[in-house]
Amino acid sequence: MSTPFEELANLDKLVHEPARLAILTALSVSESADFLSLRRLIGLSDGNLSVQLSRLEEAGLVGIQKQFVAKKPKTLVSITEKGSLAIRRHWDQLNTIRQNAAAWDNDRPHEKPDQPSKPTRRKL
């Protein structure tokens, strides 16, 4: 079995970046979101959000549709099938890592270096 650190190293870095993970998480429970709502929800600047969306679009994880509504440009973003699978798999991986990390941590002996080790009493 791999350690939590090895599992962490295997995570998809494109999805794991916090801002992109937030964008995909939001889009995974909606049909589409406009640029303004994503900016409010994720809390990124216009430029940063554009960059992150472009990276996700290049990877085929989101689709971006630009249209004009009342002569104003409107950008609609939706998650693709590939993006849905990627985000679901990613959260599953994170949950597994967290569980494994907790189990791994419990298996290790906990020593306090500044104190002499005391004999432990077995629970009956």
Partner 1 sequence: MQNQYTQIQFIAANYSKLQGLRQVPVGLLVASVSVWALDQQGDLGVPIVLTLAAALLYWAIDRFYVNTFGRIRPTAKMRRWESIASVVAGGLALLAFWLDTAYELPFSTVGLVFAAELFEDFLRATHPLKRRSFGLYPENLTVAGLILFLSLLPLTGLDWWKALGLPEQILGILLIIGILLVIAGIWGHVRITRALPAGEAKHDVNPL
Is the Cβ of residue 28 or residue 80 nearer to partner 1 in the bound state?
28
Q: Which is nearer to partner 1, 19 or 59 (CB)?
A: 19
Q: How far apart are CA 122 and CA 124, in angstroms?
A: 6
Taking the CA of residue 14 as centre, how many other CA atoms within 13 Å lie in the half-sphere pointing to its CB? 14
**Does position 3 bind partner 1 by CB under 8 A?**
no
> What is the C-alpha to C-alpha distance for residues 110 and 95, in angstroms, rounded to an integer?
24
Q: How far apart are CA 36 and CA 20, in angstroms?
A: 16
Q: Which is nearer to partner 1, 8 or 59 (CB)?
A: 8
Of the ranges 22-30, 60-68, 104-112, 114-122, which one interacts with partner 1 (CB under 8 A)?
A: 22-30
Binding-site member from 9, 10, 14, 36 for partner 1 (CB under 8 A):
36
- Selected from 3, 6, 16, 54, the binder of partner 1 by CB under 8 A is 16
Classify burial at 6, counting beta carbons within 10 Å of its beta carbon; exposed 0-12, middle 13-18, buried 19 or more.
exposed
- Give the interface with partner 1 as residue ranges (CB under 8 A): 8, 16, 18-19, 21-22, 25-45, 48, 91, 94-95, 97-98, 101
